[in-house]
């Protein structure tokens, strides 16, 4: 998607996500929906949509303030997902190394960078992901600190 993400576009993406999840009957329902706190994701329209489809099972910045339910996105949460702790950092230097000046150049650079990641690297990333989840599982989802990954 090349357009800037507005609240309306984000809701369209969420509607597609929800309809896809509902169509996948053989898969477990989503227990919690988690989103970061970018400004277009924190509007009244978005929160109303999330409340309608996910009820109180939302973790997001400002969501509890708006709805009175859900959980706050913690400001110092550990980067648990591979996109957070690996992908963005790994791609940044490769993507911006040639200074793309157009959207087409940027898109091409992102595709080239993603395709250059080896299978062995992805296996290592997924092994690390499992290690990152263990403290969370052992703490039963409660706060933990002093973890070095």
User: For residue 33, what are the β-bridge partners?
Assistant: 58
> Cβ(63)–Cβ(33) under 8 Å?
no
pTM, to two decimals: 0.62
Q: Where are the domains of the chain?
A: 1-73, 75-148
What phi and psi values does residue 58 have, to the nearest 5 degrees?
A: -130, 135
Instruction: Tell me the per-residue pLDDT of 70-79, one tens digit each, with 9 for 90 and over.
Output: 888 776 665 6
Residues 6+ apart with CB under 8 A from 3: 9
What phi and psi values does residue 105 have, to the nearest 5 degrees?
A: -65, -40
Percent of the chain whose predicted confidence (pLDDT) is above 90: 29
Instruction: Tell me the per-residue pLDDT of 16-65, one tens digit each, with 9 for 90 and over.
Output: 988 887 777 676 666 788 887 788 889 999 999 999 888 888 888 888 98
């Amino acid at each position: 998607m090349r357009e800037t993400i507005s609240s309306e576009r984000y809701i369209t993406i969420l509607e597609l996500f929800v309809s896809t999840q509902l169509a996948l009957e053989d898969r477990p329902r989503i227990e919690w929906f988690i989103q970061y706190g970018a400004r277009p994701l924190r509007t009244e329209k978005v929160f109303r949509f999330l409340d309608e489809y996910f009820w109180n099972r939302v973790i997001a910045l400002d969501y509890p303030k708006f709805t009175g339910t859900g959980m706050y996105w913690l400001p110092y949460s550990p980067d648990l997902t591979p996109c957070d702790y690996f992908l963005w950092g790994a791609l940044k230097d490769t993507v911006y190394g040639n200074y793309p000046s157009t959207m087409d150049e940027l898109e091409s650079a992102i595709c080239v960078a993603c395709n250059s990641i080896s299978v062995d690297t992805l296996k290592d990333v997924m092994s690390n992901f499992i290690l990152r989840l263990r403290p969370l599982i052992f703490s039963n989802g409660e706060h933990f600190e002093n973890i070095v990954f």
